[in-house]
Amino acid sequence: MKSNLIGYIKRKSLLYKTAVEYGDYTINHIQGCSHGCIYPCYAMLMARRFGKVATYEEWLRPKIVENAVELLTKEIPRHKTKIKFVHFCFSTDPFMYGYKEIEELSVKLIKMLNEAHIKCTALTKGCLPVELARLSDDNEFGITLVSLDEKFREKNEPFSASYKERIGCLYKLHKSGIKTWVSIEPYPTPNIIQQDFDDILNAISFVDKIIFGKMNYNAMVSKYAGYKEYFNLLSEKVINFCRKNNKIYHIKEGTITK
């Protein structure tokens, strides 16, 4: 059923190899993102640069790739032997908050890939649905979490799921035996928000993996005296926390500097 809240586009291809540092293959079956992050969102900057959307308001109105299932059916056999895993998504959010139709399509595409024995990972600022626990045990599902302060979220990730709901959905998957992770990125400096980093680590202490990265493309970061040392210190905290608690970690390129 087509919703009048979203638009539809057709694409010629779907699966592609990404150059993103922790990626392999990826899929972007939606254009735009209703979460409307203002850090700014790199995906929106790129979409504007390449003329896919003209304004922030247009970015907020997601468009579903209506031939996504058809494309994936053709592309899985073609790429299958080269794929280690498929990430959902680097240029949009696969579980946009309040968009059931997007959620259903994302689950369907993950299921198709799993049936071809391809592992999937996903990252969201929405709520991960519990149906994901019925798919392959190899999958890994994550949320982005850079604060626990709802005022910060309302200002910077205005239409995303609340932090409490986001963590709650992830915890349910963890309790169902699914591998979970958190991306603490793009992490802000104290002149953007004063907060206790340990509180964030403790709130997600159940996850299997943590990715940490500094905030980019925001002029406020370099205005914070000692921002390089600040990110070095937090990276070290993440590494120590993960080593102590037996978790996998990844510190994004450029976050630790000499």
Q: Which residues bind ligand SF4 (CB under 6 A)?
A: 33, 35-37, 41, 43-44, 92-93, 125
Nearer to ligand SF4, 92 or 180 (CB): 92
CA distances from 251 to 27, 73, 112, 182, 203 (A): 23, 35, 31, 12, 19
Name residue 74's amino acid.
K
CB of 123 to ligand SF4, least distance (A): 8
CB of 97 to ligand SF4, least distance (A): 9
Nearer to ligand SF4, 94 or 241 (CB): 94
CB of 46 to ligand SF4, least distance (A): 10
Nearer to ligand SF4, 7 or 136 (CB): 7
CB of 96 to ligand SF4, least distance (A): 8
Nearer to ligand SF4, 35 or 209 (CB): 35
For the beta carbon of residue 253, count every other beta carbon within 10 angstroms: 9
CB of 122 to ligand SF4, least distance (A): 12
Nearer to ligand SF4, 34 or 189 (CB): 34
